[in-house]
Amino acid sequence: MDILRNIFHSFFASIPHDWYRKNTIANYEGYYASIFYCYFTAVSFYVRTEEPTNNGQVDMTVILQTKVYVFEFKVIELTEKGSALKQIKENKYYEKHLSPENKEIYLVGVEFLQR
């Protein structure tokens, strides 16, 4: 997970601030989720967004042959720190991916500071 964190930190650090400094796009989780979505689809991963479950919607799920990554995105100035992962666990968003294939399931709470 550290490698993935470093990749995305580098991605976000390379976005020129002029692209968003005169608007409020960086205040919305969809801005950040879109970059994750673009990255994963560009490398041909199978990605589901706003995936419905019996307890709500998962922001994004990435499904690989032997692994499943369940993502929740939050802008944490609007919510408390740790709320993204907490939401995945409380709503059991991972349950729909429990199967006889025994894929490894990773719960990924991604939080950004609002600036």
pTM summary value: 0.80
Contact 68, 105 (CB under 8 A): yes
Number of independent structural domains in the chain: 1
Q: What is the pLDDT of residue 39?
A: 87
Domain containing 82 — which CATH number? Answer: 3.40.1350
Residue 11 pLDDT grade (very low, low, confident, very high; cuts 50, 70, 90):
low
- Asked if pLDDT for residue 16 goes beyond 70, the answer is no
Average pLDDT of the chain, as a whole number: 84
Q: Which of 83, 94, 9 is nearest to 1 (CA)?
A: 9
**Who's near 83: CB < 8 A, 6+ residues apart?**
74, 76, 109, 111
- Asked if pLDDT for residue 78 goes beyond 90, the answer is no
Q: Which domain holds residue 8?
A: 2-112
